[in-house]
Structure 1
Amino acid sequence: MQNRLKTRIMLNDWGVCQERSCLLCGNADEDKKHLFFDCDYSRKFIASISAWLDVPEALFDIDTSWKRWGEVIQDPIKKKVCYAALAAIVYQIWFARNKAFWLKVIIHPRVVCKMIRAEIVQRSRQLINCNWKRRHCQWLYNLQVYVYN
């Protein structure tokens, strides 16, 4: 991220909005670090998606998460799926934040997690090819089963 997201701190500095607090939790000023990985709201589904993918959950920072997940996950196919999940997490946090900003609606983290899981399984199923081994297909199937439970 190149600090281009229009967070409330940035909007406040420009005189566009008066509030600086996070739209999702209200506990801190809304900057990219808080919004994506320190916010209580965001932490709930980061922890949930990490557990779903069996990636050890730590205090991820947006700028180091890609590297950390890449080090933890050795299998190249699982690594691609996990990177897609991390991208989906970032996208859905920003989507939820904008919903809160424009529509004054906060999406429940459980709903966001379900959307992320369904999206990742759907996209991963499209990637299945001859390089996938049976264990990869079984892993994806197990992920899929958890999406709808």
Structure 2
Amino acid sequence: MQNRLRTRSMLVDWGICQDNTCLLCGNAVEDRKHLFFDCDYSRKCISGISAWLNIPEFLFNIDTSWKYWGEKMQDPIKRKVCYAALAAVVYQIWYARNKAFWLKVIIHPRAVCRVICAEVVKRCRQLINCKWKRQHCKWLYSLQVSCCS
């Protein structure tokens, strides 16, 4: 991420809005670093997804999580699923932030996690091919079952 997202701190600097407080937690200045993953809201989302994937998360930093999650998953197919989940976390946090900005609605982090889980499983099921082993399919199925519970 190259710090191009129009966070509230940027909008205040440009004179577009007057309040730079995070729309999701209301506790700090909304900049890239805070939104991904210093924000309590974002931490709940990343914790939910990391627990779903059985990856212990303690870094809560967007830049280092990519590397850490990749190292935790040695299997290349599982690693790709984890990267897809992390990308979905970033997308859904930004989506939730925009909902809060435009519609004044805060989506609960559990709901965000459910959407991420369902979307990642749905998209990854479309990628199943001859390189996938039976264990990969079973693992993806177990992720699908655990996301619905």
Instruction: Bin the TM-score by the shorter chain.
Output: over 0.9
2:66 is matched with: 66
2:107 maps to what in 1? 107
Deviation track 1:4-26 (CA, whole Å, cap 9, x = no partner) reads 10000000011111111100000
Confirm or deny that 1:147 pairs with 2:141.
Answer: no
Structure 1: how far apart are the matches of 2:140 and 2:114?
15
Aligned equivalent of 2:137: 137
Tell me, in whole angstroms, the C-alpha distance in 2 between the residues paired with 1:62 and 1:113. 17
Q: Unaligned stretches of 5+ in structure 2? A: none
Aligned pair 1:77/2:77, yes or no? yes
96-105 or 64-73: which moved more? Answer: 64-73
How far has the Cα of 1:131 moved from its partner?
A: 1.0
- How far the C-alpha of 1:110 sits from its partner, in A, is 0.9
Q: Distance in 2 between the 1:148 and 1:10 partners?
A: 37
Q: Distance in 2 between matches of 1:58 and 1:78?
A: 20
| Percent of aligned pairs with the same amino acid | 75
Deviation at 1:93, TM superposition (A): 0.3
38-47 or 51-60: which moved more?
A: 51-60
Question: 1:1-149, aligned counterparts within 5 Å?
Answer: 1-149=1-149
TM-score (norm 2): 0.97
Q: Distance in 2 between matches of 1:68 and 1:145?
A: 25
Q: Deviations over 1:7-55 (max 9, x none)?
A: 0000001111111110000011000111010100111110010010011
Instruction: Report the CA distance between 1:60 and its aligned residue.
Output: 2.5
Measure, in 1, the Cα distance between the counterparts of 2:90 and 2:68: 15
SS at match of 1:54: coil
Q: What RMSD over aligned residues (CA atoms) do the two structures have, in Å?
A: 0.8
Q: When the two structures are superposed, what TM-score results if normalisation uses the length of structure 1?
A: 0.97
Structure 1 stretches of 4+ with a deviation exceeding 3 A read none
